[in-house]
Amino acid sequence: MSNLKLLLLYFFIFNSSILTGQSSGNDISIQLEELFEKILVSKNDSEKLQLNDSVRLLVDDYVMSDSVFDHRFTDLKYLGQIDSPDEKIKIITWNIPLRQGPNKYFLYLVKRDTKKSGKIVFRLEGENQPETISNDTVYTERNWYGALYYDIRPFRNEKETCYILLGLDTDNLYLSRKIIEVLSFGENGEMIFGRPCFIRDNEIRFREVLEYSAEGLVSLRIGSNRLIVFDRLDAFATGHSGGNGQYGAGIALDGYRLKKGYWNFVKDVDIKELK
């Protein structure tokens, strides 16, 4: 076979594989969007969970694909996707609102692994917690509290690579939460949520949890690789009584600054420090 024919054959195979992958991703995206729309309008919890089983089957196939780290859904409204800047972690999260019982959270984490098949996949389930998420304990895959994560950054603590996660839990009628979490992996590869690396008011915390009224909005974002910023919570009057539901965003910004592997609380963050 001539060099020209070989080149044309390679070009055809290469481009066909790209088009097939794009088509497959687009097909999955359309199917997922349709399923989430049906879940949203359904008034039957059993039906919602049955539809969600179909969502999980599609996501299962997707995370096991060879292109999971290279592909990203661009038009899905109800599926959260974040990729770590070091390209070692991909997290997919979504939630299912239920009429009876706590709403459900689902998390798929894909971790690059050169020692095995190229990646490890974790599948977690959680549900909205009526009690406060603790800031002095570790959570695992077995008792994950449930949240939608929307940002991730690596950092080093005690010579180990960890990941800051910013999370959101808004499935309570009166209360919303935003969470600064730390993700790491144990000696046996298990997922660990929480790490004693936040210093505030001379106390060590495993995470920061902001609880505020579901009627309000509170900003939490990464200002830089070494700075996390959020609205200071101030008390205000609401139509509901008791609890942290009476708190909302104030006019000042607080945050955490990374220093020697630990996140130190900072009061009155200067807006000039933000990106």
Nearest to 153 by CA among 63, 256, 253, 78: 256
**Residue 22 clears pLDDT 80, i.e. is over it:** no
* Band (215; pLDDT cuts 50, 70, 90): confident
- CA–CA separation, 235 and 15 (whole Å): 58
pLDDT at 19: 34
What predicted TM-score, i.e. pTM, was given to this entire model? 0.85
Backbone angles phi, psi at 240, to 5 degrees: -110, 155
Mean pLDDT (the chain) is 86
Give CB contacts under 8 A, 24+ apart, made by 27-34. Answer: 28/58, 28/61, 28/62, 28/73, 29/73, 29/74, 29/75, 29/76, 31/58, 32/58, 32/59, 32/73, 32/76, 32/79, 33/75, 33/76, 33/77, 33/78
- CA–CA separation, 45 and 52 (whole Å): 10
**Residue 15 clears pLDDT 50, i.e. is over it:** no
- CA–CA separation, 171 and 214 (whole Å): 9
CB neighbours of 159 closer than 8 A, spacing ≥ 6? none
Confirm if 190 and 148 have CB atoms less than 8 A apart: no
pLDDT at 262: 98
* Band (115; pLDDT cuts 50, 70, 90): confident
pLDDT at 5: 44
pLDDT at 114: 74
Where exactly are the structural domains of the chain?
A: 132-275
Q: Which amino acid is at 176?
A: S
**Residue 157 clears pLDDT 60, i.e. is over it:** yes
* Band (233; pLDDT cuts 50, 70, 90): confident
- CA–CA separation, 112 and 266 (whole Å): 34
Confirm if 108 and 123 have CB atoms less than 8 A apart: yes
Distance of CA 66 to the CA centre of its chain: 22
CB neighbours of 42 closer than 8 A, spacing ≥ 6? 48, 51
